[in-house]
Amino acid sequence: MKKILHRAWTEIDLNALAHNINAIKAGLPEKTQLMAVVKANAYGHGDETICRKLWSLGVKWFAVSNLEEALTVRKVCPEAEIFILGYTPPECAVDIAKYNIIQGIVSLEYAEQLCRYANVPIRCHIKLDTGMGRIGFRSKDTAKCIEELMPLFKMDKLSIEGLYTHFAVADSPEKEDIAYTYEQKKRLFNVYDMLAEKGHRLPHVHCMNSAASVYDPDDRCTLARVGIIMYGLCPNYPVPVPIDLKPVMTFKSVVSQVKTAYPGDCISYGRTYTAETERKIATVTVGYADGYARLLSGKGKALVHGTACPIVGRVCMDQMMLDVTDVTVPVVSGDEVTLFGDCEITADWLAAQYGTIGYEIICGISKRVPRITV
């Protein structure tokens, strides 16, 4: 077994994952199955470990962003339904079919390209752009959209099993945003219902992300594409979610040295911090090369023996410094530091300190940081 390098590592709490899955399932309509969004290495948590656990918890559907991720899921969950949300180069059509993967179809042009390379029918769901403005068939005008979709049903290399869309502001409590999401949903179901009238009653229809799944679950959806809440973070921090979530990832590091800074002493590149009084400064073995953002310089905090200690000076590539003066016990080389996780410093809180979202933090933990299952 590979020895764990106690430098910077994440602890992945699979019991927290199970707890979150139970809480999420309890809030979903009875007919809505959970589609676990495990793109980007399961939001940085390690997709193999996460998928294996999810499968053992009874999750049957998985969503990824690309074919490579899909094949990783296929390896650990041979029986799962795997859905590619994003772009797959058409020349990979044979692999999509070979591994029994479901592809999102965003345009007629893409469908034609895919069919040109396919040897057998490709399982797919049609993606509607109902207001996100990213990918999919425009659907403001239902009749026009239907007209655009009809050629897809004549393609013998497509096996169309679903229709879906993605919300832009389902995480927002603002009145106009709630109305916007309502309109997006209306556009989806208008198209869905009209397709059914034309004889194409598709087995699946879905639009809910994490936010919609907790704030406004809809029992017409056969699937809920749930990402961030599964990992225990909020879709729109600090807006609370109505279910109890536990962060799955905790990011830790250690102290390599503690020294006293005297008035006038500078800390780190750029001399952005100068001690005004005598301070205890701990150097921690984590930096931006580990995915700990340099923008947290002078803004973030980390826990040492339970005390939140401010970062002083700039975060370096592999190291950073904390002011540990207020820690009540002596801090020594080798002491553990909790950077964020299942504690008072959540990834959501830390993200807010420098203007980003928890999603970016957890996805950004770099490859050199081992993921340890606990």
Residues that bind ligand PLP (CB under 6 A): 37, 39, 85, 166, 209-210, 225-228, 235
Distance CA 37, CA 84 (A): 10
| Shortest Å, Cβ 229 to ligand PLP | 6
Distance CA 125, CA 182 (A): 21
SS3 48: helix
Q: Provide the greatest CA pair distance for the chain.
A: 79
| Shortest Å, Cβ 221 to ligand PLP | 12
| Shortest Å, Cβ 242 to ligand PLP | 15
User: Which C-beta is closer to ligand PLP: that of 97 or that of 212?
Assistant: 212
| Shortest Å, Cβ 250 to ligand PLP | 19
| Shortest Å, Cβ 169 to ligand PLP | 12
Q: Is 157 a catalytic residue?
A: no
Active-site residue, selected from the candidate residues 198, 259, 269, 367: 269
User: Which C-beta is closer to ligand PLP: that of 86 or that of 298?
Assistant: 86
User: Which C-beta is closer to ligand PLP: that of 168 or that of 343?
Assistant: 168
Distance CA 118, CA 112 (A): 10
Distance CA 33, CA 208 (A): 11
**Residue of closest CB approach to ligand PLP:** 227
* Of 323, 356, 357, nearest in space to 337 by CA: 323
The first and second tokens of residue 19, run together, are 């707890």
Peptide bond into 29 cis (omega under 30): no
The first and second tokens of residue 35, run together, are 């589609």
User: Which C-beta is closer to ligand PLP: that of 209 or that of 325?
Assistant: 209
Distance CA 200, CA 145 (A): 14
| Shortest Å, Cβ 300 to ligand PLP | 23
Active-site residue, selected from the candidate residues 39, 53, 157, 301: 39
DSSP assignment of 235-272 equals: TTTTS--SS----SEEEEEEEEEEEEEPTT-EESGGG-
Phi/psi zone of residue 36: left (φ > 0), alpha (ψ -120 to 50 degrees), beta? beta
User: Which C-beta is closer to ligand PLP: that of 226 or that of 304?
Assistant: 226
Under a CB-based contact definition with an 8 Å cutoff, are residues 255 and 301 in contact? no
| Shortest Å, Cβ 268 to ligand PLP | 34
Q: Is 269 a catalytic residue?
A: yes
User: Which C-beta is closer to ligand PLP: that of 64 or that of 284?
Assistant: 64
The residues near 48 (Cβ < 8 Å, ≥ 6 apart) are 72, 75, 76
The first and second tokens of residue 259, run together, are 């020294």
Beta bridge partners of 204: 162
Under a CB-based contact definition with an 8 Å cutoff, are residues 70 and 84 in contact? yes
Distance CA 150, CA 140 (A): 16
Under a CB-based contact definition with an 8 Å cutoff, are residues 284 and 347 in contact? no
Which of the residues are catalytic? 39, 269
